[in-house]
Amino acid sequence: MPTLGQPHSTAATALITGAADGIGWATAQCLAQRGWRVALLDLRTEAAQARAAELGPQHLGLGCDVSDAGSVQVAVAAAQTALGRIDALVNNAGIGEQAAPTLTQTAEGFDRVLAVHLRGSFLMTQAVLGFMREQPRDARGNRGAIVNIGSIASFGGIPGRNAYSAAKAGVLGMTRALACEWAREGIRVNAVAPGYVRTALVAALAERGDVDARAVAERTPLGRMAEPEEIAEAIAFLASPAASYVTGATLSADGGWSVLG
Ligand code: NDP
């Protein structure tokens, strides 16, 4: 197996943010099982390192606050040095937003949600593009792939969750703009838009009464929430050469939620 410090390893490499838990962790496992070397970035350094150790010595865990430009620069440079190249970036880190009437929401709370989802995806992308554009092209002319995470909130209204909806709609807009700008450089940019997924983020919303699991199951054509592994499969597809001609796309993985009239 390849080990860190072997920059000429032929294994594909990925950076995943928010990788200590939920969808990010499931994606790290999915890619690692397929032979990728993964840098797991998370706010909690120890948790990221423990997850990486769980996957094996060829993987890397790093502390990183995606909303902080300095933290992003340091983490991305460390990951690129260790992995040798960056084939894929998964901008997954996220926080929930407690539903609240607009008149009681604070500007600080609004800014924080946008800072993690939108600014974080922008900062990570900017940092990674600097390395990706220097990499050799593959047989189809591609150099790398970026996968952003939207949501059913990117399309539909969720009362009281203005910041989250704005951030997730913004992520899809940014995905399309980046896809157009970077296609000629061989860098594909796509998004996955999950429905409700059984993770800590949703458990916290359910605890506060913002999500009713039974109502979600009833509203979802497939009749249940997703497991994180099911979203990871969609992310892994867009990150991989199997999606070599896909850019600017949003893949809904929502059990049919968004097509139900
Ligand atoms: P989880 O809360 O399970 O995992 C998110 C991870 O991101 C946590 O480890 C969290 O750390 C980390 N994180 C939070 N803020 C930052 C930051 N500033 N920098 C780096 N890491 C950070 O969430 P999910 O797996 O449910 O969500 C992952 C993504 O999927 C998010 O973008 C979310 O909006 C999106 N999504 C989720 C859905 C769902 O139903 N679960 C539905 C649609 C989209 P910590 O625990 O310390 O906060």
Complex prediction ipTM: 0.99
Assess whether the C-beta atom of 191 lies below 6 angstroms from ligand 1. no
Q: Is residue 238 a part of any domain in this protein?
A: yes
Ligand 1 atom nearest residue 164's Cα: 34
Q: Is residue 8 a part of any domain in this protein?
A: no
Please give the backbone phi and psi of residue 25, each rounded to the nearest 5 degrees, phi first: -65, -40
Query: Of 253, 10, 42, nearest to 151 (Cα)?
Result: 253
CB 216 within 8 A of CB 225: yes
**Residue range 28-37: mean pLDDT, rounded:** 98
Residue among 95, 122, 225 to mutate when testing ligand 1 (max atoms within 8 A of CB)? 95
CATH number of the structural domain spanning residue 89: 3.40.50.720
Residue among 201, 207, 211 to mutate when testing ligand 1 (max atoms within 8 A of CB)? 201
Q: Is residue 43 a part of any domain in this protein?
A: yes
- Distance, in Å, from the CA atom of 98 to the CA atom of 149, rounded to the nearest integer, reads 19
- Distance, in Å, from the CA atom of 261 to the CA atom of 247, rounded to the nearest integer, reads 27
The reply to whether 164 belongs to the active site is yes
- Distance, in Å, from the CA atom of 35 to the CA atom of 29, rounded to the nearest integer, reads 10
- Check whether 90 has a pLDDT greater than 90: yes
Predicted pLDDT at 97 = 87
Catalytic-role residue among 25, 164, 196, 257: 164
Predicted pLDDT at 9 = 61
Assess whether the C-beta atom of 186 lies below 6 angstroms from ligand 1. no
Nearest-5° Cα angle at 16, 168 to 130: 90
* Per-residue pLDDT tens over the stretch 107-134: 999 999 999 999 999 999 999 999 999 9
Domains of the chain: total: 1
Predicted pLDDT at 4 = 52
Query: Of 95, 31, 231, nearest to 39 (Cα)?
Result: 31
Please give the backbone phi and psi of residue 40, each rounded to the nearest 5 degrees, phi first: -95, 115
- Distance, in Å, from the CA atom of 115 to the CA atom of 112, rounded to the nearest integer, reads 5
Q: What is the pTM of this model?
A: 0.96
* Per-residue pLDDT tens over the stretch 38-84: 999 999 999 999 999 999 999 999 999 999 999 999 999 999 999 99
User: What confidence tier does 1 reach under pLDDT thresholds 50, 70, 90?
Assistant: very low
Give the domain extent around 240.
Answer: 13-259
Assess whether the C-beta atom of 65 lies below 6 angstroms from ligand 1. yes
Predicted pLDDT at 67 = 98
Q: Is residue 96 a part of any domain in this protein?
A: yes
Residue among 42, 152, 165 to mutate when testing ligand 1 (max atoms within 8 A of CB)? 42
β-pair type (60-63, 13-17) = unpaired
Please give the backbone phi and psi of residue 41, each rounded to the nearest 5 degrees, phi first: -105, 135
Q: Is residue 1 a part of any domain in this protein?
A: no
Assess whether the C-beta atom of 20 lies below 6 angstroms from ligand 1. yes
Q: Is residue 2 a part of any domain in this protein?
A: no
Those residues whose C-beta lies under 8 Å from the C-beta of residue 108, and which sit 6 or more positions away, are none
- Residue holding tokens 């209204």? 157
Nearest-5° Cα angle at 118, 161 to 217: 45
* Per-residue pLDDT tens over the stretch 186-197: 999 999 999 999
Predicted pLDDT at 33 = 98
Q: Is residue 5 a part of any domain in this protein?
A: no
Nearest-5° Cα angle at 128, 126 to 132: 120
Assess whether the C-beta atom of 44 lies below 6 angstroms from ligand 1. yes
